[in-house]
Structures are given as C-alpha cells and as structure tokens.
Structure 1
Amino acid sequence: MSDFDVIVIGGGPVGENAAARTAAGGLRTALVEAERVGGECSYWACMPSKALLRPGHALAAARRVPGVPVGDRLDAAAVLRRRNDFTSDWDDSGQVDWAVGAGLEVVRGRGRLAGERQVEVDGRVLTASRAVVVCTGSVPRIPGLPGLADVPYWTSREATSAQEVPSSLVVLGGGVVGVEMAQAWARLGSAVTLVVSGARPLPRMEDFAGDLVLDGLREDGVTARTGVKATGASTVDGGIELALSDGTSVTGAHLLVATGRQPATADLGVEQFGFGAGDALPVDDTGRVEGLDWLYAAGDVTGRALLTHQGKYAARAVGTAIVTGATDPEPWTAPVATADHTAVPQVVFTDPEVASVGRTGREAREAGLDVRVVDLDIAVAGSSLHADGYRGKARMVVDERRRTLVGVTFVGPDTAELLHAATIAIVGEVTVDRLWHAVPAYPTISEVWLRLLESYGL
C-alpha cells in the first residue's frame, strides 16, 4: 500500500498540468502512466502532426511570393527526421525528468480505480487521502465496418509516426485528423484519397471552412470523395480497398481510419461508481465527477472539449480546486473551466488554416440567441502583401442583444495567429462598439477586424 495526497491517472499534458498544480500546492502527488510521460499529444498527435505539416506550409507560402527561390518538392527524409526530433524519438526520459523536478512521483503501469480513493497499478495499490484525478484522454473510435477487423489499418498514431512516405493512402473520415494527415502526406509525395460521408470535411465548423479546406486539399492532388460512405473493407494486391455506398471503390497501400475519438474509460474501473466503460465522465466546472467528492477528471475523458489546450486549462482548474477545496466558485474566476462551454478556440493546421472560437452561426441560433452574422473575404493590404492571390474568409457572429461576439471563424493562410484576439473578445464580452477602438496595425492581416466592424455598420 502506497499513500499519497493526490493520484493522477494519465501522464499526458492534461495529467501533467493537474499533477504539477497539486504538487506546487504542497500535496504529495503520484503521476501514473502506462506508456510515455507526455502522452498522445507529445508523441502521436499535436507535435508530430504539426511537424509533418509545417514544411509543406512553408514551401507553399514561399511559392506565393515571387522572387523567393524554392525547390520543386519537400525533402521527405529531412521532414521525417525533424518530426522524430520533436518526439525525442519516442523517448520520454526528458518528460520524466521534468515530472521528478516538479515534485511528482512517476508510477509506471496501467492505473485502474480499485475503490474509493484507491488506484491499482499492475497489482500495486495506491491510496489518495485527498483526490484521484482521471486524465486518460481518448482513443480512436473505430467504426463497425464489414471486413475492417481483417484489414491492417492506421489510426492517428501510425499516421503521425510512419518512417516512410506511403506510396498511396486512403483516409476515411473528414474531421481534423483526416484533413491534416491527408494534406501532410500528399505534400510529402503520397497519392492520397480522402473519403468523406458529408458534402464537405469539418462538418462541425462553418460550411465555408470545409469548402476552402477541400479546395486546398484538391490543389495538393488529394482525390476527395464526398457524399459517400464506406460499406466494406478488404485487402487487394498487397494493399487495401474500401467499397463505397455509390457502388464504386477506392484502393491504396495503406488505410487511415480517422472517424473520431472516444473517452478512454474502458478498463478503468468506472463501472463500480455507476459510469459506463467507454463513456465520458460527467464533471462540473471544477472537474469534480458527478456524485463523488474525491474523484476528478479533466481533458478528453470528460467529453467536454477534445483539445489539448482546453484539457490543460481544465487540469489547472482541477488542481487548484483540489488544493483550495473549492466546490462552488463564482463564474469566470479560478478555479473553474467555464470556457469549455462557449469560448473554445481551435485551429485546423491545414493550408488554408481554419481558426475558430466560440459558436458557429448555426449553433448560436440553436442556442436561442438573436444573432447577426457578418461574412467577409480577407482582402486587405496585409493579406495582399502576405501572399499573391491570398484567399481567405472571415465570419463574425454577434449577439445583437448584448452587442458582443459569440463566435469568430477565420480561414486562410496563417490565420491561426488572429485567433487569440477573437478569444479575448469573446471571453471578455467586449462589445462591438468598444472593439471599434481596438485599432489593427497596418498593413497586417488583422485589418480584417476593421473591415468586419465596418460591414457590421460601425
């Protein structure tokens, strides 16, 4: 039996943040990790995927500015080596050193809830006097597609860690993982086919975002099959074949299944507390799990906002709540994760980039808000200098009753850096009348803010 004040199950960035907070607050904290400290984001998601994408973006950006000498193609071997550097060649010793330096006790093994305030790790039982925090993240959601179980396929892990460029790749799914990996591997030389069941990818975002990303993928040579569903999978000639709902099929050397993710609560012992294996753990804004005063959760496992930065934000709230004993704090003050409801920022790192925060126009109307939507092409001095033929769009969703922004979406090359200004405006509930006095610098792409407000009528 080993005693701690706090036990955190899951050593990814969310678990690291929660554990660091409680340790800094003077609580003896164990960080339990079954694979690599640093988690999915460091080794198979955020970092390696963006390392694969960035070289292609840089090459494309250089080509859009006359006079910049560029080559015909990427050096795939150099790109993969740089990607490997960002994952430390999948060695987590540096992250373990950080954890120890932060005052954490790293416990290797798969953690499972063994009872109230108890966690079993490969036969060893740990007890927590204060709290247990579940930060196990999410796992790929695999569809029940006939034949898929008999076909070798990639998930996001294989797609971000492959050591050779596949000669051809079929991507099933038009979400963030699907479009990012389709573009990354296409720009590295793979013949990529993207299968999307809807009319466009990125169905949860504004329609124009999916349309512009689809245009960008096609310009990079991706064959996009939209409006069709996969009906079966099989092997053929050393590769894979997907049968489609329109009676046709697509083939490739590899298949990437990118059909979403689900909370990693299977084999975690949550059933003994009334929760379903594979289901999200319901939490309040302090991260406390519904009905239990000692169990907390943060990140993807809660199903609230499946994004690393939001998980880290929620983890900081959890850690602070545990240290301070907070149970019912006022909104918009620490330690609460209220931004998970209406102010979640997200970037899709394709070319063009999609940067969004808050509600889409559709979501705002469904929430019963009286909204006005302002759409605008990003055509300002800053964008024209940034790239010849710059193509981009912006949308501002305004709550007319309060005259505040509730949603903003930018699509275009390098729009991600515009996002935090929109996030601050939404979180701070800044009125459009006040925003008029936030003067954008000339000549930058941020001039689009002025044009949006002018189009609104100011």
Structure 2
Amino acid sequence: MAEQVDVVVIGLGVGGEEAAGRLAEAGLTVVGLDPRLVGGECPYWGCVPSKMMIRAANLIAETRRVDGMAGKATVEPDWAPVAQRIRKEATDDWNDQVAVDRLVKKGVTFLRERGTITGPGRVTAGDREFEASRGIIVATGTVPSIPPIEGLAGTPYWTNHEAIEADTLPDSIIVLGGGAIGLELTQVFARFGVQVTVVEGLDRVLALEEPESSELAQAALERDGVTFRTGVQAKQVGYDDGTFTLTLSDGSTVSAEKLLVATGRRVDIKALGLDTVGIDRDARSIAVDEHVRAADGVWAIGDVTGVGAFTHTAMYQANVAVFDVLRAEGAPPADYHAMPRVTFTDPEIGAVGQTEKQARDAGLDVSTAISQIPSSSRGWIHKAGNEGFIKLVVDNDRGVLVGATSAGPTGGEVLGALAVAVHAAVPVHSLQQMIYAYPTFHRAIGDALKAL
C-alpha cells in the first residue's frame, strides 16, 4: 500500500532542501529523497568551498601587491590550510549529517534513496511507495557534462569534485573549459604555483558575458601566469605515466600532470519517470511555467529547469514553488529578467540581465556606456589590483537598464545596485539624479551614466 503524504521532494540540493523544509514547517507531511548529500553541489563541491579557495588565493595576490605601496612582503603559498579548512569547516569531511538533522528537525521524512515517479502523485523510493496529495517537486540538479573526446573515458581526469577535494596540488594542470567555474579554479591553482593551461573551444573565455568581461578576465589570469588556447577543440586525450596529453584541433598538443574537465553541466532526468506524468524525459531541461509548474501536480526547481545554474535561482524558485503548493493568495509569478550572476575571479565580474548582444538580438534599440574603474577616484586610490569597468545596457524606448556588468575588486558587491535598477526598471533619468557616495567603487556607475 502506498503511504499517504502531502508532498514528495525528489532531490535535496539547496532548492529541494529549502522547499521541503518550509513546506514541513507549514504543517504538510513531506518526504525528501536524495541518494547524495543533502544540500547538493553548492556546500560540498561548489559555491562554499570554492570561495574558500578563492579567498586564500586572493590573499596571496594582495600580499604580492604590497611592494611599491606599503613596503615589502613575501609569501610562500601553502595549500595545506586551504584543504584543511574545506574539509573541516565547509564539508565536515563530506558528511551531511548536520544538514540531515536540520531537515528532519523541521519535520521532513528523509530517505537516502532515488525517487522515481510512477504516475500522478505517486513516487517509489527503494521498497517504499508514496502517494502525494499535494504533488511532487523535482529538484535533482545537474551532473558534469563530459565531452565525448577520444581517449578521455577511463582516464583519471578531474571534475569539480576532485579539484575541491584535493589535499595537494599538482605541478601542472590543463583546464578544459573557459567558463566561470573553469576560470575561478584556474586562478586559484595559478596563484598557488600550478602551471595552468586553459583550453576553450570558443574564441573567447566567459563567452556568455560581455566581450569586455572576457578580455579583462583573460588578461588578469595571464598576469597570474596562465596560458590560454582559445578557438581550438580538444580532439584526443592521452594518459601515460602520470601525464595527460591533449591533441588539439590545430594539430598542436598540450601536456600536464592533471586534467580538469570544466565543460559545463547537464540534467540527468531519464530515470525519473517523468513520462508517466506527461513530461518529456529526453528534454535538455524540465520546462516550467511562471509558477514553476512542470505538469499538473508537479513542480520543478533549480538547475533542472535550465533557467540558470545558480544557487540563488534554485532558492528563488523554491520560494515560488512553496507559495504555489500552499495555494497562497497573491503569490507573485517567477520573473527572470534581472538574473544576477558573478564570476569570482580577481577582478570579480558581476552581471545582471541582458548583455548588449542579447538585447540587440531581442530587437531592442540599445545604447551602452562604459566607465573604467582605474579612472574613478576609488580606483585611482586603490591602485594595485584596480582593474575593472562598469557597462550599462539601456533600452532607449523605455529609458531603463536591461542589463549591466560590474567588474572590479568588489564587482559582485557593486552589482547589487545595478541589479535593483534592472529589476525595478528604474528610469535612467532617476539613476542620473542619484547621489553616489564618494569615494566608492560604486560611484563609477554614475560615471557610466554620464557617458550615455
């Protein structure tokens, strides 16, 4: 006999954990299923430990900037305290008991099992079956997307998991992929003395961001000693005697002790039984409406929706799903026009909304303006490590920002003001009349506005 519950949540990454806990606290009977660690990628192999690595690497860079500004300083990089902090403070040695206890305390029945949908409102997990009167929430996230390169399978290549778990660093590494994750880890490794080569098949890194962001990031990492090979594909992987050798599409080769595959992530939904509720099991993501409904009685949240592979997106969608499951009156629909994102390199590159190309491709009449951080008062004062810019993308017909980029020493923090402007469609005229505190990095927003 199927056990009667209100909601079954399949997948307990940040979004699924949030939704399950809040629904249980609201008085519903909730079952949460996940064979992996509760909390998902972010606290164990993503956002949290990677930012600990970045913090450590940036301290090394800041120490090296002392010369000529505040005396003389030397630094000897040591990976051991970084690895120890990740293991002890961030991940509890990749043990999720604290997260499980937190979830159970809220009233969720947790099972470390895979969930399979067998029909409307019905889910099996191990030898148990549940019938959910309110519905099912799917939040199974993504897995690394490994390209079908000849010779890659069967080699001891790294994904983000092995990179985060490393107790020691190699002498050299090839990073396959020039997206945000690849570049963040690249800079960390380089600042700890690893010889890094980035191979990116497209003609620039951070290809989804503004071209100015790509140029800034590559130049910054080249100063850290990174070698870039852009516009070439990896055609073959060889591994022999502890060395990886990649043959590239132009006939050249690159070799290193380790190979990190950072070529994106993909959904893995074929075994979820989605077809039993009318959802395409072969789709690249689960399509959802403005209330994150994927089908009658089924909601999907987080990376699996393809909206944005960010923790903050999963949390946002969890909130939308909770209100809808609870049938709350006046619950606002999901709106992604002001999606923020940050690449935590040094300089940080924050962006919100549309890039200039995306806005033009959407048929908008666009104006843009750029101000340079080194030319701002705060940037001039900051001096060493002051690289960055503010770029604004304006819809001329509406007179509002539809996108913006904030790159610089605190690019992700300065982004907050721009995210509010895009989200609330604040008129450019109003932004031009604001008072911007002096001397701050965010005052460069005002400089960009003057250039419109």
Query: TM-score band (shorter)?
Result: over 0.9
Contact 2:122–2:131 (Cα < 8 Å) also in 1: yes
Q: 2:301 aligns with which of 284, 294, 298?
A: 298
**1:404 is aligned to 2:400:** yes
Contact 2:79–2:167 (Cα < 8 Å) also in 1: no
Classify the secondary structure of the residue corresponding to 1:136: coil
In the alignment, the residues of structure 1 paired with residue 433 and residue 326 of structure 2 have an alpha-carbon distance, to the nearest angstrom, of 40
In the alignment, the residues of structure 2 paired with residue 196 and residue 16 of structure 1 have an alpha-carbon distance, to the nearest angstrom, of 34
In the alignment, the residues of structure 2 paired with residue 68 and residue 349 of structure 1 have an alpha-carbon distance, to the nearest angstrom, of 28
Q: TM-score, normalised by structure 1?
A: 0.94
Deviation at 1:279, TM superposition (A): 2.5
Deviates more, 1:191-200 or 1:63-72: 63-72
Deviates more, 1:259-268 or 1:353-362: 259-268
Moved over 6 A (4+): none
**Partner of residue 284, structure 1:** 289
Deviation at 1:259, TM superposition (A): 1.0
**1:421 is aligned to 2:425:** no
**Partner of residue 172, structure 2:** 168
> What is the CA deviation profile of residues 316-364 of structure 1, one whole-angstrom value per residue up to 9, with x for unaligned ones?
10111110167xx6xxxx34221x2x21100001111110000000000
One-letter amino acid matched to 2:293: R
In the alignment, the residues of structure 1 paired with residue 74 and residue 92 of structure 2 have an alpha-carbon distance, to the nearest angstrom, of 28
Contact 1:382–1:443 (Cα < 8 Å) also in 2: yes
In the alignment, the residues of structure 1 paired with residue 292 and residue 279 of structure 2 have an alpha-carbon distance, to the nearest angstrom, of 17
Q: 1:382 aligns with which of 378, 386, 399?
A: 378
**Partner of residue 127, structure 2:** 123
- Residues 71 and 80 (structure 1), Cα distance of their counterparts in 2 relative to 1, 3 Å cut: farther
Deviation at 1:63, TM superposition (A): 3.5
**Partner of residue 333, structure 2:** 336
Deviation at 1:437, TM superposition (A): 3.1
Q: TM-score, normalised by structure 2?
A: 0.95
- Residues 389 and 12 (structure 1), Cα distance of their counterparts in 2 relative to 1, 3 Å cut: closer
One-letter amino acid matched to 1:147: G
**Partner of residue 80, structure 2:** 77
Classify the secondary structure of the residue corresponding to 1:37: coil
- Residues 62 and 167 (structure 1), Cα distance of their counterparts in 2 relative to 1, 3 Å cut: closer
> What is the CA deviation profile of residues 381-404 of structure 1, one whole-angstrom value per residue up to 9, with x for unaligned ones?
122223436221221001111111
Q: 2:355 aligns with which of 350, 360, 382?
A: 360
Classify the secondary structure of the residue corresponding to 1:165: coil
Contact 1:74–1:188 (Cα < 8 Å) also in 2: yes
**Partner of residue 224, structure 2:** 220
Contact 1:393–1:411 (Cα < 8 Å) also in 2: yes
Q: 2:208 aligns with which of 204, 216, 230?
A: 204
**Partner of residue 87, structure 1:** 91
Pairing of 1:248-263 with structure 2 (within 5 A): 248-263=252-267
> What is the CA deviation profile of residues 37-69 of structure 1, one whole-angstrom value per residue up to 9, with x for unaligned ones?
111111111111111111111232343352276
In the alignment, the residues of structure 1 paired with residue 74 and residue 98 of structure 2 have an alpha-carbon distance, to the nearest angstrom, of 35
Contact 1:13–1:312 (Cα < 8 Å) also in 2: yes
Classify the secondary structure of the residue corresponding to 2:93: helix
In the alignment, the residues of structure 2 paired with residue 247 and residue 319 of structure 1 have an alpha-carbon distance, to the nearest angstrom, of 53
Aligned length: 446
In the alignment, the residues of structure 1 paired with residue 433 and residue 95 of structure 2 have an alpha-carbon distance, to the nearest angstrom, of 49
Deviation at 1:189, TM superposition (A): 2.2
Deviation at 1:150, TM superposition (A): 3.1
In the alignment, the residues of structure 1 paired with residue 98 and residue 283 of structure 2 have an alpha-carbon distance, to the nearest angstrom, of 31
- Residues 125 and 168 (structure 1), Cα distance of their counterparts in 2 relative to 1, 3 Å cut: same
Contact 1:314–1:336 (Cα < 8 Å) also in 2: no
Give 5+ residue unaligned stretches, structure 1.
none
Identity %: 39
Contact 2:60–2:191 (Cα < 8 Å) also in 1: no
Deviation at 1:198, TM superposition (A): 2.1
Contact 1:55–1:74 (Cα < 8 Å) also in 2: no
In the alignment, the residues of structure 2 paired with residue 69 and residue 323 of structure 1 have an alpha-carbon distance, to the nearest angstrom, of 60
Contact 1:318–1:335 (Cα < 8 Å) also in 2: no
Contact 2:385–2:409 (Cα < 8 Å) also in 1: no
One-letter amino acid matched to 2:333: V
In the alignment, the residues of structure 1 paired with residue 382 and residue 323 of structure 2 have an alpha-carbon distance, to the nearest angstrom, of 42
Classify the secondary structure of the residue corresponding to 1:218: helix
